[in-house]
Amino acid sequence: MSDQDPVDRLVDQWRRERPDLDDEGLDAMATIGRLGRLAAVAGPLVDRVFARHGLRTGEFDVLAALRRSGEPFVLTPSELARMMMLSAAAMTNRLDRLEAAGHVDRRLDPDNRRSILVSLTASGRALVDEVVTEHVRNERDLLSTLDRADRRALDDLLRRLLAGLEKPPGT
């Protein structure tokens, strides 16, 4: 078959060497393999947009979370860490870099002196607005081999798959 990809060839090798493996399992191996290859190929193509602006993906995620939160673009480090499923230490490192670059400010919460507030600076807002415009265009281009109906169908399938994988054990 001329339109075989490397994953097809890998699965065909398993079929040849281990005919006892069931087809449904090998089909699942192919799907998971393609998802892994997709992440490995697309990840760097997404990251390069952030790198052009002096950001790492995680730093963009912080700026984007603050921007999406709406005026006044302020969240606590704990809220940010929860949103991104990060440890407090990982969030602190990101905030340190962003603050040093002038993209966020940290200050004591006047209503709770034990808490810190992180706010997006004017330069941080300008940067994230510029980067997200390029990021959206880049991701659209990365998916340009699929028409809109195919992208929606793929998105629906991936949403269903993630919902099944992310549900708590025993539910």
Domain boundaries, the chain: 1-53, 57-129
pLDDT of residue 1: 46
Please state the pTM of the whole predicted model. Answer: 0.85
Residue corresponding to tokens 């607005």: 129
- Inter-residue long-range contacts of 17-25, CB under 8 Å, 24+ positions, other chains counted: none
Buried b (16+ CB within 10 A) or exposed e, 60-87: bbbbbbbbebeeebbbbbebbbeeeebe
Strands 104-109 and 74-75, sheet pairing:
unpaired
Does domain 57-129 correspond to CATH entry 1.10.3720.10?
A: no
Integer Cα distance of 151 and 105 in angstroms: 38
C-alpha angle 27-29-32 in degrees, rounded to nearest 5:
110
pLDDT averaged over consecutive 10-residue blocks of the chain (171 residues)? 84 96 96 96 97 96 97 94 89 95 95 91 98 98 97 96 87 69
End-to-end CA distance of the chain: 41
| DSSP collapsed to 3 states, 14-26 | HHHHCCCCCHHHH
